A and B are shown apart, each in its own frame.
Chain A
């Protein structure tokens, strides 16, 4: 792979066979061509590279809840949590299977207690999988060349100039001498060489037991939503699998987007406990819609909250078929998430003489609704009363003040929708009053049929000395 144009073009990556011919990353492309005639080269495409790496990261999320990328073509996977899923063998199988699914049959896997040892384990030729026994990291690293450690070129050259060739030689140097001559980077490298984990190389400090987070680092900073959603879905897939293995569902989800300007957080709450990926992804999408992400995204993290045991939904043979609870929960969560809990309601009866209080809207409680059972009536098909439907009263949210014409002491016409409507039929008054202890009302209601066909419900308020239009029948 060649990056750049003309004389300034450099080798960005080289295959193993190219490296055997001493083609090295960073050398001028012209020199490489001269050194190896017939060299096949491709133009470096960061976008294509990021795309491929994103796909691989997504695939690897099937094997590990935490995936990050330390460098070209390499990933860190957190192998924690596999004890309950079949142990290290199962992890190896899952990781290799994920790499294979992403199109990397020759991927190498190193497993160790420290990141430096795991990284070095992937560099051993002839080993698709290399495991370093716990506590054996220093002994494993000792005979290996220094370039298996993630240290800078400058430090490597300095160590070689000092006559050091192996990691073991570095580990054997006195600490004070290393600090004095090689500085902080040298001290860090010596720590790795001695099998110490300082958390700076490798991103995982060891997840606590019962941790339900899944996170992934993007191959490069992401500006578009698509790669973010792609990896988010893989995170949710992993979380759902883990919840299924434990027989759990979640009540809430915290979504954190790591950006160049710091983390951005959002929460999603399904209407009922769930582990369904489609529903969770849909909720996360809604949460992302309302989120201001300040800079480019660097990674995403999801954390399951409020875990509860999964409940089986038992269908009733003698009951009409009912809608899918998950579909209901998805719709409810999205609508209530957008406009608040009072935006999706159900009617409930209340006892009051005041017309607008004869019934109330209650926010939908999905759990209560799912627990309800129907009264069996017939064979579950639509059956209907034979008579014509009764008109339904509709009410303005608040009665509207009304301009009227009084003719011969009676209501003659009303101003409705900007036009005068002559009254054809008038029934009333029906006097209602009450609630003197709270919000006293006094109304004289009339049912008005206009020549235009409106069936209106109006009242005269003697306390306010005015006419009001409360609603109509439809």
Chain B
């Protein structure tokens, strides 16, 4: 680089000021799409436009609270944007049929050629190791980890990896507050009367979003055929 060019570059840096309006490459990456939107306007508004990239987000709630439904929608959106998504399933309960996205994705949404991988480590200890590997690769915009013991892991290492690669790392847990250092905590409630999401940012409740979710049916409720049997005991 000619010396005049170098001096010009230094001069620009000085003008940026100590606050540092010059961004690092990783910040520029995150800045181009700082969050993955859920497509749930209220929830996206409560979060900074969606699930933030470069951070760990806690995704907490009991069974049937709708955590997986929201994740599935987000995986579809992330792939549609050309980024890879990965789900580390330490519980072994993810059923494949619901995750077949096809070329146009579920409901005609974007399918994309970006990968969606499900990693199924044989033991729970492998969940965070797999999540770390996926984050480190830099090939995934979204990494979901479920079934891990977050109290016994150097979360700061994962947090740093997520920040460096611009990946959104979602930690799926049952009990809120289980994931140390989570930038955002999204809490799902399973009460059938008040199905809702509560969003906390570093411990402070920022928003409560209600949502409706009806029990889906595999077949019409009334098949037209008489049920001649009562459930046996």
A-side residues, CB < 8 A to B, are 319-324, 327-328, 330-332, 334-335, 338-339, 342-349, 356, 358-361, 364, 369, 372-375, 377-378, 380-397, 406, 409-411, 424-425, 427, 429-430, 444-447, 449, 452-456, 460, 462, 465, 471-474
Which residues on B sit within 8 Å (CB–CB) of A330?
137
Contact in complex: A348, B100 (CB < 8 Å): yes
Please pick, from A389, A396, A449, the residue contacting B40 in the complex, using a CB distance under 8 A.
A389
Contact in complex: A320, B112 (CB < 8 Å): yes
Whether A384 touches B37, Cβ cut-off 8 Å, given contacts A346-B116, A374-B114, is: yes
Which residues on A sit within 8 Å (CB–CB) of B101?
347
- Alpha-carbon gap, A188 to B76, bound state (A): 73
Which residues on A sit within 8 Å (CB–CB) of B126?
338-339
Instruction: Offer 27 A-B interface pairs, CB within 8 angstroms, sorted by A.
Output: A320-B80, A323-B140, A327-B138, A335-B119, A345-B118, A346-B118, A359-B99, A374-B114, A382-B39, A382-B50, A382-B80, A383-B80, A385-B73, A389-B40, A389-B73, A391-B213, A392-B95, A394-B68, A409-B231, A453-B64, A453-B192, A454-B63, A454-B64, A454-B190, A465-B232, A471-B95, A472-B63
B176 CB, nearest partner CB in chain A, Å: 15
- Alpha-carbon gap, A250 to B181, bound state (A): 42
A395 CB, nearest partner CB in chain B, Å: 4
- Alpha-carbon gap, A380 to B217, bound state (A): 33
B76 CB, nearest partner CB in chain A, Å: 8
Contact in complex: B100, A347 (CB < 8 Å): yes
Interface centre among A344, A360, A372, A409 (most CB of B within 10 A): A344
- Alpha-carbon gap, A425 to B221, bound state (A): 13
| Main DSSP-derived SS at the B contact region | loop
Please pick, from B63, B96, B138, the residue contacting A360 in the complex, using a CB distance under 8 A.
B96
Which residues on B sit within 8 Å (CB–CB) of A361?
96, 118, 120
Whether A323 touches B84, Cβ cut-off 8 Å, given contacts A335-B133, A382-B78, A465-B232, is: yes
Contact in complex: A384, B39 (CB < 8 Å): yes
Can you add 8 more A-B contacts, CB < 8 Å, to A344-B120, A381-B80?
A: A328-B139, A332-B117, A347-B96, A374-B113, A382-B78, A452-B62, A472-B63, A473-B64
Contact in complex: B81, A385 (CB < 8 Å): no
Whether A343 touches B120, Cβ cut-off 8 Å, given contacts A331-B134, A388-B212, A455-B215, is: yes
- Alpha-carbon gap, A430 to B126, bound state (A): 38
B218 an interface residue at 8 Å Cβ cutoff? yes
B155 an interface residue at 8 Å Cβ cutoff? no
Which residues on B sit within 8 Å (CB–CB) of A377?
80, 104, 109-112
Chain B 175-217 interface 0/1 with A at a Cβ cutoff of 8 Å (1 = within): 0000000000000011110000000000000000001110111
Contact in complex: B40, A388 (CB < 8 Å): yes
Contact in complex: B218, A430 (CB < 8 Å): yes
B19 an interface residue at 8 Å Cβ cutoff? no
Contact in complex: B211, A347 (CB < 8 Å): no
A277 CB, nearest partner CB in chain B, Å: 16
B134 (CB) vs chain A CBs: closest residue: A331
Which residues on A sit within 8 Å (CB–CB) of B84?
323, 328
Please pick, from A380, A386, A393, the residue contacting B98 in the complex, using a CB distance under 8 A.
A393
